[in-house]
Amino acid sequence: PTSGFPADAKHAQLDEHSRSAFVSLERTMAALNATANMVVAVKAQRVAGVRRVAAKHAVARLGGLKAPVSMSMRKGGRQSLGVFAAGLDFAELESAVEDDEMEWSPPVRATRKDGKSSKEAKQSKRFRKAQASVPGRMAPQEPAAGIKLMMDNATAKFVESAEAHIRLNIDPKYNDQQLRATVALPKGTGKTVRVAVLCQGDAIAAAKEAGADFAGAEDLVEDIAGGMMDFDLLIASPDMMPKAAKLGRALGPKGLMPNPKAGTVTPNVAQAVSEFKGGKVEFRADKQGIVHVPFGKLNFSPADLMENMKAIVDAIDANRPSGAKGIYWKSMYIASTMGPSVQIDHTAVQAMKVE
């Protein structure tokens, strides 16, 4: 039998026409491995978080001949190419391909009668009006101008918080690119923080004197295990951590478990209580490498907000992960709780000198 055909009865009965088609196919595939002019109309899909590109129509041209091609590509993966034409006439292939050779176009999105996008339809009139008065998302503002825009467009009926959202060039799935630290805001957070302290002996009285709302040892551990969660922050001394381990299931999902990186595991619990009551906050990068941290209330003066924002920027620079290479900062936005975001020129903040 011809080279490439299995030695079985079915293929042994193929006529000369099928054999010549297979030989032509072998030559076509050999040429495709070297150079081939592919005309592919692709359709992009996202499946389980992975971008997959599936060929809807594909044609391989070589020497005036055409053959349908099955192609599949996966982002970051290998590309596979197969031509299925054995036992078929190329004239039949050519006519079949030409019938389906129309260029693929993406589906047209449905439009609302009021002309709004689906995102705009979910936004309130107040927010859309505020968003129209701020520059585009790709127009960085000077720090002072950005804070003024944020304050002018905070139109909610309560005192909103000022938030900073900073995108960094890090991938937190790697241990040497994780960012978690604390920063003491010079002007405070404007919030009342309820602090509980796990400690023993004289440290209990010292913690209460420093302003702790709850302080205790085994009795406080039992209260928390029983469902008492009337605190925003839990500080523990190192000798109490083995006893606090059983609280991990209750405290972990709420982000309240004491951690040395967050400054909530310390032998000097009284000092830690004073710092967190005075405006010390914890920040960390999320899975996308973005840091979200509040830096005051909008009843603060612009100068106070500027000083707090400068402290956050300096703390992020000071705690740069060892694995962060190249450009560290990507972008920085500030926003009120219910207002639109304003992009800030982070280089101007870094160059600022607070008196």
Distance CA 305, CA 100 (A): 62
Total number of residues shown for the chain = 355
Cβ contacts of 74 within 8 Å, gap of 6 or more? 50, 51, 52, 53
**How crowded is residue 62: how many other Cβ atoms within 10 Å of its Cβ?**
17
Amino acid of residue 242: P
DSSP alpha helix (H) spans, the chain: 9-12, 16-34, 90-99, 118-121, 125-132, 143-152, 202-210, 218-225, 241-244, 248-251, 269-278, 302-318, 346-351
Tokens linked to 61 = 């041209």
Encode pLDDT of 325-350 as tens digits.
899 999 999 999 998 999 999 999 99
Distances 277 to 191, 195, 199, 235 between C-alpha atoms, Å: 9, 8, 18, 12
Encode pLDDT of 3-12 as tens digits.
454 545 555 5
Encode pLDDT of 247-303 as tens digits.
888 888 888 888 888 888 999 999 999 988 888 888 999 999 999 999 999 999 999
pTM: 0.61
Distance CA 30, CA 18 (A): 19
Encode pLDDT of 130-187 as tens digits.
888 888 777 899 999 999 999 998 888 899 999 999 999 999 999 999 999 889 999 9
**How crowded is residue 58: how many other Cβ atoms within 10 Å of its Cβ?**
20
Distances 73 to 44, 54, 269 between C-alpha atoms, Å: 10, 7, 57
